[in-house]
Amino acid sequence: MSQNVITKSNVKSEGNKSVLKSAQRLVLAFQHLIAMFGATVLVPILTGFDPSIALIAAGCGTLIFHLCTKGKVPVFLGSSFAFIPVIISVTELHNGDLRYAQGGIVIAGLIYVIISFFVHKVGVNNIRKFLPAQVVGPMIISIGLNLIPTAYGMASENLIIAAITLSIALIITLFSKGFIKQLSILLAVTIGYLVSLKLGIVNTSLISEAPLLSIPNFTLPRFDFSSVAVIAPVVIFSSINGACWRYYYKWSSSWQKFIEDPGLNRTLLGDGLATVFSAFIGGPANTTYGENTGVLAITKNYDPSIIRLTAVLAIVLGVVAKIGGFLQSIPSAVMGGISLMLFSMIALIGFKTIKNEKVIFNIKNVLIMSVILILGIGTGLIEKKFGFTLGIPVTETVKISGVSLAAISGVALNAILNRKEIK
């Protein structure tokens, strides 16, 4: 009879493996941090919020989301672009006072929470009838394709650097194996950064001038009806977009249907509470991040604990200004090159959804998908070409347009044309 003998060498070997595994997890988490950083700080820069608070809010919001979803869903929550127009409108309405925008975002988050309770009461199967693959797939495609011009705009600052970064990421993803393959984004950004540093296009003063630690100026919200009336409607179509994202995780390595377990209601609850928390400390609304979704799709590593580690790093980043200075010094061309890959992966997820759900290409479904794609992608092109926004007016300055208009139209059209399947 053989016995397992515990020796010092065995203990040391196990300890080394544990340390190595911890180091690998930290590197993977840092890769997610790089992916989310640009967009998360861009929203506060455009709206006037403190970027450091936005990072802390994103980290705390992600942890709140994971608490609500029993730690099962590998999602990172960052600053939401959907709220940018309404935040600017409310801020201008109150002579630059962002606290009223915070108040509107708090109410928006609470509406998310109410919607989550409604979904729980009605049941996910009934909700899913209104979000079949012929609606969800084109929605995700529209989201990805709408993000690509933003990535190209960043890449166009130096197309050579962007091409180098993108090429390295693609080569590692396609031809490497194991842990190296999971680091394709981080390695590509690192090499792109080093090349940029060699060419002298990195603003190193952002690192040298940044203090080691910096405590953000947290602010409490203020409430009035006009602010709530402008901001709250955004929640309706943002929740539809959020529901579409949840479908993606059906194609994770474990093939878990997260829309059923832990449930769509819990993911919406996580979105809502994260947004409420963010607004209460002086940050923007939070939402599921496509950048991190793209990282998941590329690395095929869906471990939620790595996302939670990323959240902790984001919180640390909010107070350690030196690290933030380093990440801000990464040239836009580098981030643009890698974003082209991430956003293309998002669009690919939409095509996979249509394929894997075996959507029937009859005249009804083709019409539904066409309307979503035309509205989701075409409105942006019309605005650039003719200078006006096609959409549904919410206020004098805000319209439901683009992807939001596509989502509402797609759900409504599907409910009319496929009403027999919904009953």
Average pLDDT over residues 169-187: 84
Average pLDDT over residues 199-221: 89
First to last CA, the chain: 65
One-letter amino acid at 277 equals F
pLDDT over 60 at 289, yes or no: yes
Between 48-52, 84-88, 395-399, the lowest mean confidence (pLDDT) is in: 395-399
| Cis before 74 (ω within 30) | no
Provide the 3-class DSSP secondary structure of residue 119.
helix
Question: 262 or 162: which carries more pLDDT confidence?
Answer: 162
The CA distance from 388 to 392, in Å, is 12
DSSP string, 53-74: HHHHHHHHHHHHHHHHTTT-S-
User: Average model confidence (pLDDT) for the chain?
Assistant: 82
Q: What is the pLDDT of residues 299-326, one digit of tens each?
A: 878 889 999 999 999 999 899 888 778 8
Between 198-207, 266-275, 314-323, 377-386, the lowest mean confidence (pLDDT) is in: 377-386
Q: Which residue has the tokens 């940050």?
A: 283
User: Which two three-digit tokens encode residue 372?
Assistant: 């979503």
pLDDT at 352: 85
The CA distance from 367 to 356, in Å, is 20
pTM exceeding the 0.85 threshold for the entire prediction: no
